[in-house]
Amino acid sequence: MNGFDIRFTDGDHHVFREKIDARIERITDRTVFVRVDYLLRDSSGNIDDRYEGRVDVLVIAEVA
């Protein structure tokens, strides 16, 4: 993971937990397909607040 920028979109929330998972799904020729799942939640007990953002993934590969 190279970096990320995630935020709540509705008002002010105190961040309780951030979870980011990045994994390689497949490699086809010289293309690497990466899946990223992320979660942003506050401490209200509900995971129903809207959020948005981006996650940058850097792939370093040795090619033949």
Q: With pLDDT > 70 as the criterion, what percentage of the chain qualifies?
A: 100
- Residues 6 or more apart whose Cβ sits within 8 Å of residue 58: 1, 2
pTM here? 0.69
- Residue-wise pLDDT for 4-22, tens only, equals 888 888 877 888 888 999 9
Given a cut of 90, whether residue 26 has pLDDT beyond it is yes
Residue 49 tokens read as 């607040």
> What are the strands, taking DSSP E only, across the chain?
3-8, 17-28, 31-41, 51-56
All structural domains of the chain with their residue ranges: 3-56
